[in-house]
């Protein structure tokens, strides 16, 4: 076929670009094709531990960033805390520094909350109801809801995460809470509990999230009572975890949905990859592009200073250090994760030529 004939065919046929603005190309694909999986392994344990120690040592003396204070109880976190943990898909675990120091999970809960709701409702239903595109705006942006013609954001910003909470199975707020906490605990491999001081502090200063939930309800994009959904979401953000817990949770997403420590399945492999897709798109809010550019891995940050990063087929990494950049992402966490991604060969986007060109030729 000549180029001209090809162009005529494309332009006059049913695939004319932009002919149906509401259409999404992937909706017409079956989506159930068997996906082949190809991943490498983490280096040996000694190398991993050496690199984790190096990352900790290298950034211990970085004191940039500010501890979050818009939730009063978070402002009390000592800025010097710094922990790193890694859990491989074979269940090997390592940690350094404050890797077992408890802190509240905050926004790092969002991908796991999304995974549980995605598993329960199916990936198409959650995309239709929550959206999966980046907002390019801060995590608590009200404008993001207003400027999206369809009121959709994504499950990793507050609006989408509160909407995801509202979709959790259960007739009452308490049933939704129990469903989610039970699932999150399976991700962590232990029963997670709330930090009551942080919940009280968040509840007392939660006007913005409450307003956002009501706005979403106005757009028909909240699927339960807005105040109750916001309260369940707030309690989820106040669950206590450690960097080791986050690494285990990340390792479960790296391991096709099976927790490599407990060996229990939490979600399906398809749910894992949908979750990792939204983490790549929006895990570090408006700086997600910078993160992908530097680190090349799906991740999620939270305002208490945690970051979970997933190396699919290899393992989960977590860092904890409270001082944040302007977008709400831990400064030392970003630096340490970049070092780990590079030194352990985790970046999803790197390749090496199949055959090195012959230097002589």
Kindly report the number of other CB atoms within 10 A of residue 155's CB atom.
30
Pick one of 82, 139, 187, 223: the residue that binds ligand GLN (CB under 6 A).
139
306 binds ligand GLN (CB under 6 A): no
- 177, exposed or middle or buried, with CB in 10 Å at 0-12, 13-18, 19+? buried
Cβ closest to ligand GLN, residue 84 vs residue 161? 161
158 binds ligand GLN (CB under 6 A): yes
Cβ closest to ligand GLN, residue 154 vs residue 158? 158
Q: How far is the CB of 306 from ligand GLN (least distance, A)?
A: 9
209 binds ligand GLN (CB under 6 A): yes
Cβ atoms of 159 and 139 within 8 Å: the answer is no
Pick one of 83, 257, 260, 328: the residue that binds ligand GLN (CB under 6 A).
328
Q: How far is the CB of 73 from ligand GLN (least distance, A)?
A: 11
Q: How far is the CB of 139 from ligand GLN (least distance, A)?
A: 4
Q: How far is the CB of 177 from ligand GLN (least distance, A)?
A: 15
User: Quick one: tokens of 161?
Assistant: 């995460």
Pick one of 48, 52, 83, 106: the residue that binds ligand GLN (CB under 6 A).
106
Cβ closest to ligand GLN, residue 105 vs residue 261? 105
Cβ closest to ligand GLN, residue 107 vs residue 341? 107
Cβ atoms of 344 and 269 within 8 Å: the answer is no
Cβ atoms of 330 and 305 within 8 Å: the answer is yes
Helix axes 226-237 and 196-204, enclosed angle (nearest 10): 140
Place of tokens 């949770």: 249
Stated as kind and residue range, the H or E segment containing 180 is helix 173-188
Cβ atoms of 145 and 162 within 8 Å: the answer is no
Closest to 330 (Cα-Cα) out of 14, 107, 24, 153: 107
CA distance 276 to 37: 15
Kindly report the number of other CB atoms within 10 A of residue 201's CB atom.
19
302 binds ligand GLN (CB under 6 A): yes
Residue with smallest beta-carbon separation from ligand GLN: 107
Kindly report the number of other CB atoms within 10 A of residue 341's CB atom.
22
Q: How far is the CB of 55 from ligand GLN (least distance, A)?
A: 22
320 binds ligand GLN (CB under 6 A): no
Q: How far is the CB of 229 from ligand GLN (least distance, A)?
A: 12
Q: How far is the CB of 327 from ligand GLN (least distance, A)?
A: 9
Count residues contacting ligand GLN (CB under 6 A)? 11
Place of tokens 């099976």: 258
Please give the backbone phi and psi of residue 95, each rounded to the nearest 5 degrees, phi first.
-150, 160
- How many helices (H) and strands (E) the chain has is answered by 14, 7
334 binds ligand GLN (CB under 6 A): no
140 binds ligand GLN (CB under 6 A): yes
Pick one of 134, 168, 217, 237: the residue that binds ligand GLN (CB under 6 A).
237
Pick one of 52, 77, 272, 303: the residue that binds ligand GLN (CB under 6 A).
303
107 binds ligand GLN (CB under 6 A): yes
Closest to 271 (Cα-Cα) out of 286, 258, 283: 258
Closest to 274 (Cα-Cα) out of 168, 175, 130, 147: 130
Binding residues for ligand GLN, rule: CB under 6 A, are 106-107, 139-140, 158, 202, 209, 237, 302-303, 328
């Amino acid at each position: 076929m000549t180029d001209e004939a090809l162009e005529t065919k494309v332009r006059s046929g049913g695939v004319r670009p932009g002919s149906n603005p509401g259409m999404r190309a992937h909706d017409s694909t079956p989506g159930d094709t068997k996906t082949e999986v190809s991943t490498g392994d983490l280096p040996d344990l000694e190398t991993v531990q050496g690199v984790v120690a190096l990352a900790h040592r290298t950034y211990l003396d970085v004191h940039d960033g500010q501890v979050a204070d818009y939730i009063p109880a978070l402002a009390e976190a000592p800025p010097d805390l710094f922990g790193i943990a890694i859990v491989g898909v074979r269940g090997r675990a390592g940690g350094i520094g404050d890797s077992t120091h408890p802190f509240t999970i905050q926004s790092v809960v969002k991908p796991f909350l999304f995974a549980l709701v995605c598993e329960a409702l199916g990936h198409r239903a959650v995309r239709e109801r929550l959206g999966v595109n980046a907002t390019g705006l801060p995590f608590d942006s009200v404008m993001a809801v207003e400027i999206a013609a369809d009121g959709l954001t994504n499950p990793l910003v507050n609006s989408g995460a509160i909407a995801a909470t509202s979709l959790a199975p259960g007739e009452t707020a308490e049933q939704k809470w129990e469903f989610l906490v039970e699932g999150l605990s399976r991700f962590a491999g232990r029963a997670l509990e709330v930090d009551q001081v942080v919940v009280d502090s968040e509840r007392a200063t939660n006007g913005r999230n409450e307003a956002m939930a009501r706005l979403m309800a106005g757009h028909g994009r909240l699927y339960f009572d807005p105040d109750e959904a916001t309260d369940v979401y707030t309690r989820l953000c106040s669950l206590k975890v450690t960097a080791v817990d986050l690494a285990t949770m990340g390792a479960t997403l790296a391991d096709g949905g099976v927790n490599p420590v407990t060996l229990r399945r939490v979600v399906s492999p398809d749910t894992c990859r949908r979750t990792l897709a939204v983490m790549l798109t929006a895990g570090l809010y408006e700086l997600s592009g910078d993160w992908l550019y530097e680190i090349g891995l799906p991740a999620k940050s939270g305002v208490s200073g945690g970051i979970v990063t997933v190396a699919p087929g290899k393992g989960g990494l977590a860092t904890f250090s409270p001082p944040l950049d302007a977008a709400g992402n831990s400064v030392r966490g970003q630096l340490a994760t970049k070092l780990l991604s590079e030194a352990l060969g985790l970046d999803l986007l790197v390749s090496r030529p199949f055959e090195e060109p012959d230097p002589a030729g």
